[in-house]
Amino acid sequence: MTDPTSATPEGGSVIHDLGYRPYTGPRLGPAAIARALVITGFRNAFGLGRSGKSKVLPFILLALNLMPAVIVGGVMVFVGLDALPIGYAQYASTTQVLLGIFVASQAPVLFSRDLRHGTISLYLARPLPSSTYAIARWASLLGATLVFLLLPILVLYAVALLGELDVSDQTSDAAVAVGLALLLALSLTGLAGLIASWSTRRGFAVVATIALLLIGNGIVTAIQGISQQEGHARVGEVAGLFSPYSLYRGLMSIWTDNKTPTPPTGMPMQLAYVVVFIALSVACLGGLVWRYRRVATA
């Protein structure tokens, strides 16, 4: 068989030779397609490369999320505090509503639109396996969520360093917060992506994700509060395993000075928090890959 990319071979016979020059440059493989997909997906999550209107929402959410950090910075500068009024890790817990809304509202941008408009078949017609497509989309959303989570930490860290707080203390605190943020971003991205890929109605996917994240968190918080009041802290610790936000809070109270109700006590429980956190993310990614494999073979 002749190479379809080469020009009409010498002496070769074709039915129609219209004389057009075929593309003879280098052909990039699936890796390059996946990389391009991740980058455009990341830009699309913030509305870059899309219409002006779709930039409004993500950037308003990002600005709202950064506002407390900037205010804290301003207060630090003018009052001259000797410690940050809010911990690096505590920040994401405080702004969890905004974080949830951002992830929930931008996941359908990446996962629903191709499915709803049928453009997914154009992607899958390329030499790109459906699993790579799913992972590329997931990576885009993960990147966007990380930007959302890490920017405030960066602002706070910069303010702390400019305020001449202890560098090694601040660096270690910020590093712990970055690690926690990564865990949280992994699980939120997986959950939101999975829901958005199942329900292609945008508004519905957003509410379903928020309901899962915030009502789940609300229930866990209620149980933790009641169990602490009743003196059965263990119940609250187990309940904490059932929501990404409570997992985050649990690990935050082990690894930082910010205490929350019924933190996980004992090595097995603390380990369980980490394992469940990672297992949740892996399971969601697996679910996404499986979902797109079904789409590809349907």
Partner 1 sequence: MNPTILRLSAQALLGRRRGVVLVLIPAVLLVLAVVVQALTDDAVGYDAVLHLGFTLALPLVALLAATAVLGPEVDDGSIVYLLSKPVSRHVIAASKYVVAWAATVVLGALPLLVAGLVLDTSDPRQAIAWGVGGAVAGTAYTALFLGLAAFTRHAVVIGLLFALLWEGVLGNVLDGIRWVAIGAWGREVATEISSKVPAQGIGLGYAVVAAALVTCGSLWFTGDRLRSFTLRGDE
Where on the chain is the footprint of partner 1 (CB under 8 A)? 50-51, 53-54, 57, 64, 97-98, 101, 105, 113, 117, 199, 201-204, 206-208, 210-211, 214-215, 218-219, 221-223, 225-226, 229-230, 235
- Pick the closer one to partner 1 by CB: 94 or 171: 94
In which element (H, E) is residue 25 found? Answer: none
Cα distance between residue 50 and residue 45, in whole Å: 9
Nearer Cβ to partner 1 (35/201):
201
* Angstrom distance (rounded) from CA 149 to CA 244: 14
Question: What single-letter DSSP state applies at residue 119?
Answer: T
Minimal distance, residue 231 CB to partner 1, in Å:
11
- Segments in 163-215 forming alpha helices (H): 167-198, 202-210
What minimum distance in Å lies between the beta carbon of 60 and partner 1? 9
By the 8 A CB rule, do 180 and 146 touch? no
Query: Which residues, in sequence order, are CB contacts of 34 under 8 Å at separation 6+?
Result: 128, 132, 133, 135, 136
Name the minimum Å distance from CB 292 to partner 1.
19
Query: Which CB atom, from 57 or from 155, has the smaller least distance to partner 1?
Result: 57
What is the CB neighbour count within 10 angstroms for residue 181? 23
Output 35 or 117, the one with its CB closest to partner 1: 117
Shortest distance, CB of residue 78 to partner 1, whole angstroms? Answer: 20
Q: State the nearest-atom distance from the C-beta of 104 to partner 1, in Å.
A: 8
Looking at residue 248, its amino acid is: Y
Amino acid occupying residue 169: D
Which CB sits closer to partner 1, 208 or 276? 208
- Min dist. Cβ of residue 241 to partner 1 (A): 16
Using CA atoms, how far apart are residues 178 and 290, in angstroms rounded to an integer?
30
Compare residues 204 and 255 and give the one whose CB is closer to partner 1: 204
Half-sphere exposure for 49 (CA within 13 Å, toward CB): 10
Cβ proximity to partner 1, 153 vs 220, nearer residue: 220
Q: How far is the CB of 193 from partner 1 (least distance, A)?
A: 17
Neighbours of 253 (CB within 10 A): 20
Residues 175 and 179: their CA atoms lie apart, in Å, by: 6
Which helix (DSSP H) or strand (DSSP E) does residue 62 occupy? helix 52-79
Structure tokens at 112: 């629903």
